[in-house]
């Protein structure tokens, strides 16, 4: 019996587990960034609104024209702050997308490499009496390998196109 195959399967599973925890860590980091961004935005909003309310109360009784000018300035400032918030959110999403894409590519390449090593070892060291089955598996996995490579290329191209579409869709919002 070939003892390398179980060890290689365990190694492949270990890589999969490490990548899965890498995804979890990335997701948690994104969550932390979003919470920090929202807390920062809420705190800034509270402090600014407090100052505006105090200024508005002073102006409303003395000079109504200045009060309306203050409202207009606040409206413009709020629009700029909202744009900055969404731009920062877009940056977090873009960074996360690239991290997850890189992790996915690493996982796929490691999985393919480990699977190929297992198949090659099975083909090189068939168990006695199972040569025909091993040859069948080897040819079947070879065909699956070719199909998987073609599918991986198509999926990668589709993912890149999706990223480009998302980037093009997000840019007018950030610049508006």
Residue 155 has pLDDT above 70, yes or no: yes
Summarised one tens digit per residue, pLDDT across range 83-133 is: 999 999 888 888 888 888 777 777 777 777 777 777 777 667 766 666 677
Residue pair 118/12 in contact (Cβ under 8 Å)? The answer is: yes
Q: How far apart are CA 117 and CA 65, in angstroms?
A: 78
Q: Cβ contacts of residue 25 below 8 Å, gap of 6+?
A: none
Q: What is the pLDDT of residue 171?
A: 60
Half-sphere exposure of 29 (CA within 13 A, CB side): 13
Global pTM?
0.57
pLDDT of 21-34, one tens digit each? 888 888 899 899 99
Give the model's pLDDT for residue 127: 66
CA–CA distance, 176 with 80 (Å, rounded to integer) = 9
Dihedral, 162, 167, 168, 173 alpha carbons, nearest 10: 130
Contact predicate 4/114, CB 8 Å: no
């Amino acid at each position: 019996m070939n003892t390398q195959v179980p060890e290689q399967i365990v190694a492949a599973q270990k890589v999969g587990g490490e990548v899965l925890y890498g995804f979890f860590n990335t997701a948690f980091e994104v969550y932390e960034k979003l919470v920090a961004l929202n807390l920062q935005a809420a705190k800034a909003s509270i402090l600014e609104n407090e100052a505006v309310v105090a200024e508005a109360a002073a102006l409303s009784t003395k000079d109504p024209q200045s009060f309306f000018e203050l409202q207009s300035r606040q409206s413009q400032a709020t629009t700029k702050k909202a744009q900055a918030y969404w731009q920062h959110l877009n940056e977090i999403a873009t960074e996360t997308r690239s991290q997850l894409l890189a992790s996915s590519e690493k996982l796929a390449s490691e999985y393919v490499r480990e699977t190929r090593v297992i198949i090659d070892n099975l083909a090189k060291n068939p168990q006695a009496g199972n040569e025909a089955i091993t040859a069948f598996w080897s040819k079947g996995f070879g065909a699956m390998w070719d199909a998987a490579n073609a599918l991986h290329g198509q999926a990668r191209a589709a993912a890149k196109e999706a990223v480009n579409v998302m980037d093009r869709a997000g840019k007018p919002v950030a610049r508006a």
